[in-house]
């Protein structure tokens, strides 16, 4: 039966080698097949054109080869490309290619849906269906990399885990996907160009420190006092700002990687100068490289609004005046619901 076959992408290189040896194949076949799967991103055994027909058929008889397919694509007037990806079990996730003059950034999903229910995020209103497997996350990156090559003639330069889901609640697969993305046997990208964004799970941030990772971390702060933060992000009840500060300091001490704060500005909720003062206080407790001030992208399910441009600039200027490194991040792909927090399998 199809479902009982082993998934070729979940076996190790050593297991593949043992299998091929038993099948009487030459040693170099292992490398060839491994390259097809991870380097050349084949999507079926039939693609493996330097293998004999007999071997391709044998492999297809013994292994399954599920891979992520593009369901459909939307292109924004600003060049942003949003893709809906179909997983082998029918679940869908979304990923975005964000091109600029200097960068080709892929924004990818780590879970189908999300369990954390942040009040401002469209994904948070979807039920969490399941974690993505590491090879599914890797497929998203490869497919967006192909789009980048086709649309701009350039490879991806950056990857952000800022699509659907909470990457630190799918820790092993997130880690393994990055291992593949950075491996010379995969996409060979530098981990310094990868940023994992988290809503803030203190225990897992510390684990990143223990695992001495080489990629960067973004914390979705969005409110710099616990009362307000808990109102909009229920995860804050068990992971308050003090515990996050402690975890981030540990992460920095262990890895010396960049930490950024993400802060969405909501009208009359977290946009006053008093809120800015609280944010500055928080900023001073951690080695934060930059605070990204994010424009709120309206979603159907919630009633937040964004402040006026005047208010946004006043907030930013106040931070700058207090020697805080703060940037206003302009959202991309708004016309196709591809901006932060708008990924909801709608289109």
Q: Kindly list the residues in this chain that would bind ligand SF4 in the complex (CB under 6 A).
A: 114, 116-118, 121, 123-124, 164-166, 199, 220
Measured from the CB atom, is 199 or 255 closer to ligand SF4?
Answer: 199
Residue 223 near residue 216 (C-beta atoms within 8 A): no
Told to judge if 94 belongs to the known catalytic residues of this protein, a careful annotator would answer yes
Element (H, E) at 255: helix 241-255
Spatial distance between the Cα atoms of 75 and 333, rounded to a whole number of angstroms: 8
3-state secondary structure at position 10: helix
Q: Pick the closer one to ligand SAH by CB: 29 or 128.
A: 128
- Letters for 313-342 (x = contact with ligand SAH by CB under 6 A, - = none) are ---------------------------xx-
Q: Is 132 helix (H, G, I), strand (E, B) or coil?
A: coil
> Residue 179: which of 3, 5, 13, 347 has the closest Cα?
13
Between 117 and 157, name the residue whose CB sits nearer to ligand SF4: 117
CB of 64 to ligand SAH, least distance (A): 30
Binding of residue 148 to ligand SAH (CB under 6 A): no
Which residue, 161, 121, 122, 165, is CA-closest to 144? 161
Contacts (CB under 6 A) with ligand SAH, residues 176-195: none
Cα(137)–Cα(180) distance, integer angstroms: 10
Establish if 84 lies at the interface with ligand SAH (CB under 6 A).
Answer: no
- Minimum CB distance to ligand SF4 smaller for 38 or for 215: 215
118 is catalytic: no
Length of the chain: 347
Determine the Cα–Cα distance for residues 252 and 265; give it in Å rounded to an integer: 26
Q: Are strands 111-112 and 130-131 parallel, antiparallel or unpaired?
A: antiparallel
Contact between 120 and ligand SAH per CB under 6 A: yes
Which token pair is 339? 């901006």
The binder of 43, among ligand SAH, ligand SF4, none, by C-beta within 5 to 8 A per type, is: none
- Tokens representing residue 35 in the block: 């390259």
Give the three-state DSSP class for 99.
strand
Q: Is residue 95 close enough to count as binding ligand SAH by CB under 6 A?
A: no
Q: What mask of x and - would describe binding to ligand SAH in positions 277 to 316, judged by CB under 6 A?
A: -----------------x-xx-x-----------------
Active-site residue set: 94, 340
Q: Which residues here bind ligand SAH, judged by CB under 6 A?
A: 120-121, 162, 166, 197-199, 220, 262, 264, 294, 296-297, 299, 340-341
């Amino acid at each position: 039966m199809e479902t009982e076959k082993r998934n070729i992408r979940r076996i190790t290189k050593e297991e593949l080698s043992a299998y091929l040896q038993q099948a009487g194949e030459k040693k170099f076949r292992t490398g060839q097949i491994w390259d097809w799967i991870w380097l050349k991103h084949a999507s079926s055994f039939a693609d493996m054109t330097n293998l004999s027909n007999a071997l391709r058929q044998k492999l297809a008889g013994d292994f399954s080869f599920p891979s992520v397919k593009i369901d459909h694509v939307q292109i924004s007037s600003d060049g942003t490309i949003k893709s809906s990806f179909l997983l082998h079990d029918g679940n869908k996730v979304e990923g975005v290619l964000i091109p600029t003059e200097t960068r080709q950034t892929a924004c990818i999903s780590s879970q189908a849906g999300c369990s954390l229910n942040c009040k401002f995020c469209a994904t948070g209103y979807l039920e969490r269906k399941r974690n993505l497997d590491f090879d599914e996350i890797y497929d998203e990156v490869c497919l967006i990399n192909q789009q980048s090559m086709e649309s701009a003639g350039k490879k991806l330069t950056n990857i952000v885990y800022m699509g659907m889901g909470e990457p630190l609640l799918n820790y092993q697969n997130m880690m393994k996907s990055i291992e593949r993305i950075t491996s010379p046997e995969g996409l060979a990208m530098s981990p310094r160009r990868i940023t994992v964004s988290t809503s803030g799970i203190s225990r897992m941030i510390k684990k990143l420190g223990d695992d001495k990772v080489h990629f960067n971390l973004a914390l979705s702060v969005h409110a710099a006092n616990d009362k307000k933060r808990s109102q909009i992000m229920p995860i804050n009840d068990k992971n308050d700002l003090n515990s996050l500060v402690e975890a981030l300091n540990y992460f920095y001490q262990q890895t010396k990687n960049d930490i950024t704060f993400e802060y969405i500005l909501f009208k009359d909720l977290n946009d006053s100068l008093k809120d800015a003062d609280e944010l500055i206080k928080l900023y001073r407790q951690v080695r934060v490289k930059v605070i990204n001030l994010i424009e709120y992208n309206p979603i159907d399910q919630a009633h937040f609004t964004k402040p006026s441009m005047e208010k946004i600039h006043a907030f930013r200027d106040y931070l700058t005046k207090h020697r805080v490194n703060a940037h206003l991040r302009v959202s991309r792909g708004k016309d196709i619901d591809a901006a932060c927090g708008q990924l909801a399998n709608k289109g």
